[in-house]
Amino acid sequence: MYIVENYFLAIVFCFITMLCWGSWGNTQKLAAKSWRYELYYWDYVIGIVLLSLVVGLTLGSVGTEGRSFITDLSQVSSANFWSAFLGGVIFNAANILLSTAISLSGMSVAFPVGVGLALVLGVFVNYFSTPKGDPSMLFAGVALIVIAIVLNGIAAGKASQGSEESNKNRKGILIAVLAGVLMSLFYRFVASAMDLENLTQPLAGMATPYSALFIFSLGILGSNFIFNTLVMKYPFVGKPVSYKEYFKGKISTHLVGILGGVIWGVGTALSYISAGKAGPAISYALGQGAPMIAALWGVFIWKEFKGGSKTINRLLTLMFILFILGLTLIVVAGMD
């Protein structure tokens, strides 16, 4: 299987992860023009599963180091299998809530609040489970990102103040907070199923990043029949939707959702692959810098703060600056 051998390349992969995790939401925005997000989400999940399988059969099966994808998958212990699977279940619950928040408040609000909070809480969970990197710099970077999240929330509040969208926006923020809390927990379960300290000769019963990603995707797919079915029947906003409506969708619409899952899956695959060299806390934290990318899309492409006051624009500018500084400190924290 392919293994990352140096820290710099691991960081490059983590930045690509950040771009992917911050960009998949664009496909939901595109599909929303004619497609409810609950229906979009089925295609999104299919995209993740397909991507994890393709990556496993290609990168996970080349070279002479480590175990090949099929061989590794067949020897994963039940405890590690269910740990990675549970990570997928937890992620799916969080991501469905995040998709709801995007539909209510937009990318530039839902991502910084939800995924930003997941970053902060997740760094603590992952660092204390597997300490790696300079803690003072790592947590200083996290602190800056916390301030950036707060500034984004203030900007969102000012933008919707006194408008009919105010209650809708507030509901989206609350759902994003819940999504963030859940999302901070999933990565640890997946990471604990992998032998990140010795990828060339992983311990028997433990998973490589490739098999862990596939098992994780199965957790997402399996839980989606419960979580997304419930959201379809009891939506946060709007009328219930049915599976009949899903199968009536155009192929082009389905492909947009699958593309969203593939984009997210590429980022996740690179995050898992690089975690052995960068460490789970830093790999997770950099990937969760996605709110900055999503906010850029939301502000400059989707114009979600169009017509905002100078104060709102200053808050957003400061948010971007603090996110960049925080991510820089997180990168430096992992350097030897």
How confident is the model over 163-211, as pLDDT tens digits?
Answer: 556 677 788 889 999 999 998 888 889 989 998 778 778 899 999 999 9
SS3 (DSSP) at 170: helix
Structure tokens at 90: 């937890």
State yes or no: pLDDT of 319 exceeds 80: yes
**Can you tell me whether residue 175 is helix, strand or coil?**
helix
pLDDT computed for residue 150 by the predictor = 82
The pTM (predicted TM-score) of the whole model is 0.84
Residue 290, amino acid? A
Question: Between 29 and 327, where is the model more confident?
Answer: 29
- Give residue limits of the domains in the chain: 7-333
On the CB side of 104, CA atoms within 13 Å amount to 24
Three-state secondary structure call for residue 201: coil
pLDDT on residue 266: 96
Mean pLDDT of the chain: 87
Residue 118, pLDDT score:
83
Q: Which one-letter amino acid corresponds to residue 158?
A: K
Q: Across residues 148-169, what is the average pLDDT?
A: 73
More confident of the two residues 40 and 139: 40
* Mean pLDDT of all residues in 103-124: 81
Give the model confidence (pLDDT) of 15-60 as tens digits. 899 899 889 989 998 998 888 999 999 999 999 999 999 999 999 9
Q: For residue 333, what are the contacts with CB-CB under 8 A and spacing of at least 6? A: 133, 134, 135, 137, 138, 141, 282
d(CA 136, CA 197): 23
CA-based nearest residue to 68, from 81, 83, 79, 58: 58
Give me the pLDDT at residue 163, please.
55
The torsion of the CA quartet 239, 110, 26, 313, rounded to 10 degrees, works out to 130
Is the CB of residue 116 less than 8 Å from the CB of residue 21? Answer: no
